[in-house]
Amino acid sequence: MPWTKTTEFPHAFLSPPVESPTFNSASYVLFSNVMWTATSGQINKWRRNALKLPNTDMGHLAQSKIVTIYNFSQAVVPKPLDWGDTTTISG
């Protein structure tokens, strides 16, 4: 299931029947913020205790630079035009 931000379709967990590139893109930001809010306490506790690193926040998580490889066929979900080189569909 694609989790990379695109204007072509909304996030899978926020997919009302709306055909809006702006909503589609925003749905990924909204979902990321909800997930960060739910998990940031545990993530930062692990960073402090296990890794001896300071807390982090959404501003430091350069998600557009994370390499993502989706293991489905482009026949199932064609690669959106706004996905960069860091996002690959392997087939």
What is the full DSSP assignment across 40-79?
A: HHHHHHHHHHTS------GGG--GGGS-EEE-S-TTTSPP
Q: What is the pLDDT of residue 24?
A: 94
Tokens at residue 58, please? Answer: 């959404």
Strands (E), the chain: 68-70, 87-89
Q: What is the average pLDDT across 31-60?
A: 94
Q: Could you tell me the pTM of the whole model?
A: 0.81
pLDDT tens digits, one per residue of 39-51: 999 999 999 999 9
- Kindly tell me if the per-residue pLDDT of 37 is higher than 80: yes
Q: State how far the Cα of 91 lies from the Cα of 89, in Å rounded to an integer.
A: 6
pLDDT tens digits, one per residue of 64-79: 778 999 999 999 989 9
Distance between terminal CA atoms of the chain?
13
